[in-house]
Amino acid sequence: MKRGPGVKEDGVLVSEKATVIGETVFDISGGRRAFVDTEEAAELLEPLRAPSSYTKICFSNRSLAWKLLKPEAEALEVMTIFSCALEGCVLSCSSTRVGSDGGVVLAEALGTCKHLKKLDLCDNMFGVDDGAESPANALKESAPSLEVLDMAGNDITANVASSLVACVSSKQFLAKLNLSENELKDEGAILIGKALEEGHGQLLEVDLSTNSITRSRARALAEAVVQKPGFKLLNINANFISDEGIEELKDMFKNSLDMLGALDENDPEGEDIDEEAEEDADRDELESKLKGLEI
């Protein structure tokens, strides 16, 4: 009452405390943008301790103080509070500033999830690859029916690609994969393409825009998805694809151009576009990594 009325979003009054919408959505994304410490986290998440019918849990836009939650102590306690409620749920932790330490903590909770349907981890400032790698590794053995995986905007590099590949390969019900605004580059892109080649019959959308991908790797991604039944959209905009590469992509999707997203932000001058010379230089290295890759 001291703070006055909250802000209405889609007709729902949002406060700085947890909001329950129709007994199915548990949402702490409202209120001011501030760190949530251990004590407040325990208070906010208290409703999740009891059996519930929640189908969506939203932590977006709240800066959970993951670094204050040591993995072996308070962090695991807080994460355990909501991990038991994730069965069959949508979990949104976008823009929560998880950081590298929080990635490890988050992985502990994800490792217990068997029926998670959607996971949103975009814009989490993982900081270093270890922060993103931990959730990816945890998901390899959990959430087999995951349908949506969003890890956009986390500065993920090719060093994490092998973990992402193993994760993506195990998610045969995946319908949407968003890895945009990362640093996967060509090396990561070709590995993700290989992961999507086999199976994934329900795949509808793939977004690897803004990843510094060049012509040949963009083509490999397109080849991995263009023939999948029901596929709707490949977004590889804002990369470094040559003009020749753009024409190749359009030719590949000539029977369904609407499946190829806009390429208006592509920068053909962003990197050296001598693709043949580049392929000759790194082919052996990529083949070596692919041979040793366990999927």
Looking at residues 207-222, what average pLDDT do you find? 96
Per-residue model confidence (pLDDT) at position 69? 47
Per-residue model confidence (pLDDT) at position 266? 97
In which band, very low, low, confident or very high, does the pLDDT at 14 lie, cut at 50, 70 and 90? Answer: very low
Q: Is residue 185 predicted with pLDDT exceeding 50?
A: yes
User: For residues 105 and 69, is the Cβ–Cβ distance under 8 A?
Assistant: yes
Of 91 and 201, the structure prediction assigns the larger pLDDT to 201
Q: Is residue 206 predicted with pLDDT exceeding 70?
A: yes
Q: What is the DSSP letter of 157?
A: B
User: For residues 120 and 92, is the Cβ–Cβ distance under 8 A?
Assistant: yes
Looking at residues 208-213, what average pLDDT do you find? 97
Cα angle: 129, vertex 135, 140; to 5 degrees: 115
Per-residue model confidence (pLDDT) at position 5? 43
> What distance lies between CA 89 and its chain's CA centroid?
16
The 3-state DSSP class for residue 30 equals coil
Lowest mean pLDDT among 117-126, 127-136, 191-200, 214-223: 127-136
Looking at residues 210-234, what average pLDDT do you find? 96
Per-residue model confidence (pLDDT) at position 44? 72
Of 99 and 224, the structure prediction assigns the larger pLDDT to 224
Enumerate the domain spans of the chain. 25-269
Backbone angles phi, psi at 66, to 5 degrees: -60, -35
Per-residue model confidence (pLDDT) at position 73? 53
Distance CA 130, CA 21 (A): 35
The tally of CA atoms less than 13 A away on the side-chain side of residue 103 is 22
Q: Is residue 57 predicted with pLDDT exceeding 90?
A: no
How confident is the model over 121-180, as pLDDT tens digits?
888 766 555 667 888 898 898 899 999 999 999 889 999 888 999 999 999 999 999 999
CATH class of 25-269: alpha beta
Residue 109: both structure tokens together: 């909770």
Number of helices (H), then strands (E), belonging to the chain: the values are 9, 13
Distance CA 124, CA 28 (A): 16
User: For residues 259 and 230, is the Cβ–Cβ distance under 8 A?
Assistant: no
How confident is the model over 60-74, as pLDDT tens digits?
666 554 444 444 455
Nearest to 203 by CA among 232, 160, 181: 232
User: For residues 226 and 259, is the Cβ–Cβ distance under 8 A?
Assistant: yes
Q: Is residue 86 predicted with pLDDT exceeding 60?
A: no
Q: Is residue 227 predicted with pLDDT exceeding 80?
A: yes
Q: What is the DSSP string of 225-240?
A: HTTSTT--EEE--SSB
pTM to 2 decimal places: 0.74
At a CB cut-off of 8 Å and minimum separation 6, what does 192 contact? Answer: 161, 164, 165, 168, 179, 184, 208, 221
**Partners of 36 in the β-ladder:** 64
Q: Which residue has the tokens 């609407």?
A: 258
Distance CA 141, CA 139 (A): 5
